[in-house]
Amino acid sequence: MSRVRLQQQYEGIPVSAGELSVNLRGNEIVSVLADTLPALDGFDTTPAITAAEALTSAQALIDKYYAVIDADYSTPSLVIFNRGLLTDMQAPTRLAWFIEVTRIDMREFIWINAQEGGVLLNFSQLTDAKSRLVHDANSGSTLPGTLVRSEGGSPTGDQDADAAYDFSGDTYDYFLNQHGRDSYNDAGAVLRSTVDFCPSIFDCPYVNAFWNGTQMVYGAGFSRADDVDAHELTHAVTEYTADLLYFMQSGALNESFSDIFGE
């Protein structure tokens, strides 16, 4: 059995996920699989956004969700993009810049609108891999603090740090296995935790924990309770799904969802 794959193009520009695949047995065609865009005649292939501007947008996205400074960015390539080819739903066809962002624990695919700017789609191409970073604030208020354990690293011997690592992984596994959700943003975002946090010398040890919009933060000892870790990470899931404001009835629902999933 052999296979021939053909990439759809228009005016020399590839169509993302637009392919025709022919399976052959000798000279006999066994099957043909195709998912392409029709009616591209007249499609505008002149970008209004430069490759450099698209790269800046991609860097801003990575900075916001991953906060890494040592990622490698591919040279932006011009493509024709229609989300419907990936989701089997009707969607508009756009000219886009495609950028791949990589490092040892990251492979992010990003499409930037080449006419109007803005992110059309991004997701992690890593196959359902956890990515955990645990920091130690050392009773200080600076976030994220000193990195003490990263994905795949050995236990540190610090109970708070190792519990944050283990329980955030358990919570990740729950949302992936039970709900098909890859991290809190469903795009493989890094699970970043800081332990032994104190907002000030007058509030130390800090007897609380919270999700600050980008990471989990724990006062001394709080990460050792698995329900606390799951509670805070569920706040992150809520933010990226229902996005419930933490106010009045909306806030009560936000908190109750974390209580339920935390248990």
Residues 6+ apart with CB under 8 A from 189: 65, 66, 124, 131, 183
Cα gap 63→56, rounded to integer Å: 10
Q: Hey, what amino acid is at 245? A: L
Confirm if 232 and 258 have CB atoms less than 8 A apart. yes
Tens of each residue's pLDDT in the chain, 263 residues:
677 889 999 999 999 988 898 888 888 998 888 889 998 999 999 999 999 999 999 999 999 888 777 889 999 999 999 998 887 788 999 999 999 998 866 778 999 999 999 999 988 775 445 788 999 999 999 999 999 999 888 999 999 999 999 999 999 999 898 888 888 888 888 999 999 999 888 889 989 888 888 889 999 998 988 888 888 888 888 888 776 666 567 678 878 878 887 66
Residues 6+ apart with CB under 8 A from 111: 16, 79, 81, 96, 97, 98, 99, 119, 120, 121, 122
Confirm if 211 and 228 have CB atoms less than 8 A apart. no
Query: Taking the domains of the chain in order of start, what are their residue ranges?
Result: 2-35, 51-124, 132-262
pTM (two decimals):
0.54
Cα gap 85→92, rounded to integer Å: 11
Cα gap 198→218, rounded to integer Å: 9
- Beta strand 2-10 with 13-25 is antiparallel
Cα gap 235→211, rounded to integer Å: 7
CATH fold of 132-262 reads Elastase; domain 1 (3.10.170)
